[in-house]
Copies of this chain bind each other. A is one copy, B any other.
Amino acid sequence: MQLAKNVSTFIGFDNEYDESKIVVFGSPFDGTTSFRPGTRFAPNVMRNESYGLETYSPYLDKDLEDINIFDAGDLEFPFGNTEKVLTDIKEFTADIVKDNKIPVMIGGEHLVTLPAVEAVYNKYKELYILHFDAHTDLRDDYMGEKLSHASVIKRIWEFVGDNRIYQFGIRSGEKQEFEWAKQHTRLTKFCCDGLKEAVKEIGDKPVYVTIDLDILDPSIFSGTGTPEPGGIFFNDMMEAIKTIKDLNIVGTDVVELSPHYDNSGVSNAVACKVLRELVLATAK
């Protein structure tokens, strides 16, 4: 008998690295999470639970079987050393980008987006950011720490600059964050209104799309560290992804699933479906 070792990938992400335009990897880091940790478990859980999903999307009428995607598994991180983790992500993302492939990262907490965007930005200086989230993430620091999930977009703004960041679904933050956003980002409260205009403005410029899944209402996505009632519904998310499907997406991520807080498995199913749709929208 001849047998190969047991392989575990997200459903339909079963191509080799060389033949794939899209490279998926997990960043299981939750070291700056302030309320309830656990996003470290997300990438692995999503791989396992993705087999409850079909590869075909009736939303986009596209099938994962028809595109080439490589699943690199998870990065391995030291625990308790935030800077080392960010460096590892940045270097890995840079390698993917250098090979002219599109990185698709599964978080982890939202801070992992910072090094991924840095790596992508180093190649695409005109980069735009589409930021879907419940939270502003615009704090200057969190209890003295500059590198925090609560300040990740502020850190990104420091190098991409004004008016490059569109924020949608925002419904929680400090008053001064909302004030600051008026000058520096394009923040839409509660919903995704104005996304079509954003798409038009961005045109064919390179875009990084970061989806903090807690933009979704916790009725459909309770498996997250800081549930914020009042979010968008699943169909709004589907609509948003349809809306951005012709953009020039050069990097993307899905973050903040914390599977242990939702025993029903629904949050896992949601995260898997959002990832499927996002990858289908990214593939051209």
Contacts and interface: CB of A to CB of B under 8 A. Distances in A.
Interface of A is mostly: loop
A99 B220 CA distance: 44
A126 interface: no
A206 interface: no
Interface centre among A34, A74, A81, A262 (most CB of B within 10 A): A81
A193 B72 CA distance: 42
A200 to B, nearest CB: 26
Contact of A56 (B1, B70, B175): B175
Contact of A217 (B17, B96, B98, B219): B219
A222 B172 CA distance: 22
B35 A52 contact: yes
Contacts of A170: 58
Nearest to A172: B54
A228 B9 contact: no
A32 B82 CA distance: 10
A229 B147 CA distance: 33
A80 B222 contact: no
A212 B173 CA distance: 27
Contacts of A81: 82, 144-145
